[in-house]
Amino acid sequence: MRASLFRRLLNLWPPFLCNSIRVLSLDEAYTEARVVLRLRPWNRNYVRAQFGGNLFAMTDPFWMLLILQHLGKDHYVWDKAGAIDFVAPGRADVYAHFQLTPQVLDELRAAAAVGEKVLRWFEVEIRTAAGELVAVVRKQIYVRLKPRERPNTAASA
């Protein structure tokens, strides 16, 4: 699917649409995405800052989606774990920028080539437009060749 269409569909996805989360850009190579969480009255917490659940939600699917676009149907790609470190209150719109390098993709392919599961942590910073760090989100991604593609099962099939 073209990245421009996928970006539009993500922007209509209810968890994003209802929480003022927007995918600003998704490059056609699926290696870079930019996301914004707009501060609105309905997504503020008690102290009028960005709600922490929305800070996590704005980052939730991107590492998995970017990697899946490259590894394709021969691999399972799942979110395994996640963590967020709140650094400062988000009292303005906040942004996240995801960049997936060819080197990381090569490392994931090589590690998964033997058929075992691969677990790798990815990190993204959430910042205001002025550059103030609001939070750091870490996601652990699970990658594994599907059974039909694994070296030990492909030979016996």
- pLDDT above 60: residue 156: no
Assessment of whether the complete model's pTM goes beyond 0.75: yes
User: pLDDT tens digit string along 65-101?
Assistant: 999 999 989 999 999 999 999 999 999 999 999 999 9
Domain that holds residue 137: 3-156
Domain CATH number, residue 27: 3.10.129.10
Task: Measure the CA–CA gap between 5 and 155, rounded to whole angstroms.
Answer: 39
User: pLDDT tens digit string along 104-139?
Assistant: 999 999 999 999 999 999 999 999 999 999 999 999
User: Domain count of the chain?
Assistant: 1
